[in-house]
Structure 1
Amino acid sequence: MKYKLEWKYKLKGKNPVLFTSDWMEGELALELGGDIEKSGKSAYLSFTDQMGTSWTIKEMKKLLTEIEEEPNDLIVYFDGGFDKSANRGGLGTIVYYRQGKKKFRLRANQVFDEMESNNEAEYAAFYYAMTMLEELGVRNTPCEFRGDSQVVIKQLEGEWPCYEDCYNRWLDRIEAKMEKLALLPQYTAIPRNENKEADKLATQALEGKIISSKMQII
């Protein structure tokens, strides 16, 4: 989660001037806010997170202590593979996140039966990623989703209409899960060569190689 500072600078005999910072990490925002407060020149000071919630400096100190061990700075890669002969989908997902001072990577895949197309497998892979986030305990935070499926990315963004009932059912499930977890999603379409790891996991799932791993990134 990133934060921005907003404060009013006191000027003698004049109205205070309002300043707003760029987005920054919570610890840096709190440090800068503390310096501004110590200067005695601030008529007003607040912190706003990416979810639109505002905090006082006292609330910010408590907040950072409470969320230190919660997963944050989430980047999710997803990909789906399709076996037409068996109507099966291979789902691959990687989740990068930070928890406290440490960074981690989760890798997992799964097979899903009764798939109709590769596009449906992509939707299923995205939903599978959402279930991983839920199991991880992710709540009330921004999350970037990266995939090479233009169909899934553009329809989730609302830029492309969806006319297929099958895809609409997946969209409904994804949006319901997104609302339940109170995530602020960012969708990024990437080239296939930047999604090789998720693609490999999807292929391995179709080959019967089920993977579930967690590692710390040093």
Structure 2
Amino acid sequence: MNVRIEWVYKTPKGTEAIFHSEEMPAAKAVLLAEDLERTGRTKKLVFVDRFDSTWTVKEMKGYLKGIETEPHNITVYFDGGFSPATSNSGLGCVIYYEQSGKSYRLRRNAPSAELASNNEAEYAALYLSLQELELLGVHHLPIRFIGDSKVVINQMGGDWPAMEADLARWADRIDQKLEKLGIQPEYELVPRRENAEADQLATQALNGIDIAGVIEMTAKP
């Protein structure tokens, strides 16, 4: 989770001003906040997340302690492909996360013969990623979902309406899963070249190549 620090600074003569930091990982923010408090001139210090929820230092420490052994700091890449020639689809997702002080990458793909368009395949790939998150035991966390589908990102982000019945059903299904898991989604649109890993997994699924596995990462993406 990324947060910003907001605090009131008071001079020895009583003059006060409000300051706020840039966004940073919550663990780093806690360290800085503790240092600010040691000056004795910091008042009303809180952390603010991307959803404008506020946390005290005590609350943030408790949150970080609670997720230490669970997957957290999660970023999801997803992609779907559809072949008009065969009416088959390939779905792919890549999940980067941290757990117990280590970083991991999960890759998963799946074929499908039940979809009718590339947009449906993109939605199905997003749903596949949610199924994998559920299997990981992920719950009640903010998560970034990154894809190259303007339709899915803009519809799920609320910028575009889902006019087609098939896509609206997928959107509803995904929203229900998000609510069940307590996930706060943040959707990000990227160029296809920045979604190459998930795209490759979707293509491999179309070609009958199954990929499923988790590896420990030596460096974050």
User: Structures share a fold, TM > 0.5?
Assistant: yes
Deviations 1:197-217 (A, max 9, x none): 222211222222211110111
Secondary structure in 2 aligned to 1:195?
helix
Change (3 A) 1:50 1:141: farther
Separation in structure 1 between the aligned mates of residue 109 and residue 150 of structure 2, nearest angstrom = 21
Task: Say if 1:90 and 1:203, in contact at 8 Å, map to a contact too.
Answer: yes
* 2:50 maps to 1:81: no
Between 41-50 and 108-117, report the one with greater CA deviation: 41-50
For 2:165, the equivalent position in structure 1 comes to 165
Secondary structure in 1 aligned to 2:134?
helix
| TM-score under structure 2 length normalisation | 0.88
Separation in structure 2 between the aligned mates of residue 119 and residue 75 of structure 1, nearest angstrom = 21
Separation in structure 2 between the aligned mates of residue 121 and residue 2 of structure 1, nearest angstrom = 30
Change (3 A) 1:62 1:193: closer
- Return 5+ residue gaps in structure 1 as ranges: none
* 2:153 maps to 1:153: yes
Secondary structure in 2 aligned to 1:79?
strand
For 1:174, the equivalent position in structure 2 comes to 174
Separation in structure 2 between the aligned mates of residue 63 and residue 157 of structure 1, nearest angstrom = 26
Separation in structure 2 between the aligned mates of residue 164 and residue 43 of structure 1, nearest angstrom = 52
| Cα drift, residue 86 of structure 1 | 4.3
Change (3 A) 1:23 1:100: farther
Change (3 A) 1:79 1:58: closer
Change (3 A) 1:199 1:185: same
* 2:71 maps to 1:67: no
Change (3 A) 1:101 1:202: same
For 1:211, the equivalent position in structure 2 comes to 211
Change (3 A) 1:93 1:54: same
- Return 5+ residue gaps in structure 2 as ranges: none
Deviations 1:125-175 (A, max 9, x none): 111111111211222222222222222122222222322111110011111
**Which runs of structure 2 are paired with 1:126-141 in the superposition (5 Å)?**
126-141=126-141
Tell me the amino acid that sits aligned with residue 101 of structure 2: K
Secondary structure in 1 aligned to 2:216?
strand
| Cα drift, residue 196 of structure 1 | 2.5
Separation in structure 1 between the aligned mates of residue 86 and residue 173 of structure 2, nearest angstrom = 24
Deviations 1:44-98 (A, max 9, x none): 2222333443333233323222222222222211111223354332111111122
| Cα drift, residue 120 of structure 1 | 0.9
Query: In angstroms, what is the RMSD of aligned CA positions?
Result: 2.0
For 1:194, the equivalent position in structure 2 comes to 194
For 2:32, the equivalent position in structure 1 comes to 32
| TM-score under structure 1 length normalisation | 0.89
* 2:55 maps to 1:55: yes
Change (3 A) 1:116 1:26: same
Task: Say if 1:78 and 1:94, in contact at 8 Å, map to a contact too.
Answer: yes
| Cα drift, residue 32 of structure 1 | 1.5
| Cα drift, residue 15 of structure 1 | 5.2
Change (3 A) 1:192 1:49: closer
Secondary structure in 2 aligned to 1:151?
helix
Q: How many residue pairs end up in the alignment?
A: 218
Separation in structure 2 between the aligned mates of residue 27 and residue 199 of structure 1, nearest angstrom = 32
